[in-house]
Structure 1
Amino acid sequence: MSRPVLQIISASTRAGRKGIAVARWFQRFAEQHGGFDVELVDLAEVGLPVFDEPNHPRLRQYVHQSTKDWSATVSRADAFVFVTPEYNHSFPASLKNALDHLSAEWADKPAGLVSYGGVSAGLRAATAIKPVLAALRMLPVVEAVSIPFFAQFLTEDDEFAPNTELEAGAKAMLDELARVTPALRSLRDAA
């Protein structure tokens, strides 16, 4: 059997964003981990419009090509890691919109969270997204990467250079995702 596909979804879409550096670091780290085939999905590049489908996502009767393409992308994945900043004590609208576009494509797949921010390390964003993931029948794993004062880890070239604690958290999260992904895949196969 082939390795499961892990999609790392970078949530920040604004001009001048720094979170893409965090997502690229995690992509490289996940590739070195070796438990997954890794894809980076940048919501800024996906460019979804504000949800405008006439039918409820659970019906999978999409009329817009952007939604059909998004459905195909998410359907490919066996697991996710959401890389999210914290905006106003929550996660960005771009991520909520991306989640709301689909339904069944998310179901029975595990999700890890990499959050970043100032003193809060993006923990309020991580807390806010978990009920949304659960409502979409995803399994948020407990292990996470929470990055406080994330700008301190950016190099002059805007590369993300984590410390050993962040790398340890990333490894623990990837190990847990690798552990639960096959079990959830069997649930999807049975359905």
Structure 2
Amino acid sequence: MSKPKIAIIISSTRESRFADKPAQWLLAKAQERSEFDVELVDLRDFDLPFFDEVASNMWAPSQDPKAIAWQKKVAEFDGYIFLVAEYNRSITAALKNALDQAYVEWNKKPAAYVGYGSVGGARAIEQLRLINIELQMVPIRHGVHIGGSEFFTVWGGGKNEPMEAIEPAVGPSLKDLFDNLVWWTNTTKAAREA
């Protein structure tokens, strides 16, 4: 079995987003792991239209070339880490739209979560877990929640310290996330290939 490939998906597309800072930190930490290859996938790079197909691509092939390009990108991966910004107690509209633009490409693959914002993005992640279940994904239990004092330590509107400043608080959770993502990615990849 080939080495699994993991996508870190940046969920926010705003110009003033905070996501770039934790995304680069998360990518560097993931690259320290030898069990998988990792790629940063930025929703900004796909310019997806609002979902307007006749049905999910589970039932009918998509027609929009941008949706098809997105589906091909999603299909490249064996698992996903969603970098989740919490907007009004939920996920971003850009992420929901991106999830809806594919279906079969998400199936039987694990999803992990790193959230930030109010209560560490926990409310948004809970909603995202439900969406992932509907997409026949495997949400893993362990996640990273950057909230409260950790968020204000690294956020540009706060102390703006480097992400490494909060590693004592979030590092153990990140290790658990990676360890569990490796297990679930290998398990689901072997099952899909069989």
Same fold, judged at TM 0.5 (above): yes
Q: Which residue of 2 aligns with 1:74?
A: 74
For 1:80 and 1:55, the matched residues in 2 are separated by: 24
The size of the alignment, in residue pairs, is 189
For 2:103 and 2:80, the matched residues in 1 are separated by: 15
CA contact (8 A) 1:30 1:38 kept: yes
In structure 2, relative to structure 1, the CA distance for the partners of 1:55 and 1:88 (3 Å cut) is same
Q: Which residue of 1 aligns with 2:37?
A: 37
Name which of structure 1's ranges 6-15 and 158-167 shifts more when overlaid on structure 2: 158-167
Task: For 1:66, give the aligned amino acid.
Answer: K
Instruction: Show CA shifts across 1:39-90 (max 9, x none).
Output: 0001122221111223322135121111111111110100000001111111
Instruction: Show CA shifts across 1:102-129 (max 9, x none).
Output: 11100000010001003x1111011111
Match of 2:173 among 148, 169, 174: 169
CA contact (8 A) 2:56 2:100 kept: no
For normalisation by structure 1, the TM-score amounts to 0.92
Q: Which residue of 1 aligns with 2:141?
A: 142
For 2:56 and 2:18, the matched residues in 1 are separated by: 34
Deviation, 1:159, is 5.1
CA contact (8 A) 2:8 2:83 kept: yes
Structure 2's unaligned 5+ residue stretches are none
Structure 1's unaligned 5+ residue stretches are none
For 1:116 and 1:157, the matched residues in 2 are separated by: 14
Deviation, 1:5, is 0.3
For 1:69 and 1:87, the matched residues in 2 are separated by: 26
For normalisation by structure 2, the TM-score amounts to 0.91
Q: Which residue of 2 aligns with 1:160?
A: 163
Task: For 1:142, give the aligned amino acid.
Answer: R
Deviation, 1:180, is 1.3
For 2:27 and 2:135, the matched residues in 1 are separated by: 24
Q: Which residue of 1 aligns with 2:124?
A: 125
Instruction: Calculate the aligned-residue CA RMSD, in Å.
Output: 1.8
For 2:87 and 2:57, the matched residues in 1 are separated by: 26
For 1:163 and 1:69, the matched residues in 2 are separated by: 36
Deviation, 1:166, is 1.1
Instruction: Show CA shifts across 1:112-157 (max 9, x none).
Output: 0001003x11110111111100000111100000001424124788
Name which of structure 1's ranges 52-61 and 77-86 shifts more when overlaid on structure 2: 52-61
Deviation, 1:31, is 0.5
For 1:158 and 1:65, the matched residues in 2 are separated by: 41
For 1:82 and 1:176, the matched residues in 2 are separated by: 15
In structure 2, relative to structure 1, the CA distance for the partners of 1:60 and 1:39 (3 Å cut) is farther
Deviation, 1:165, is 2.4
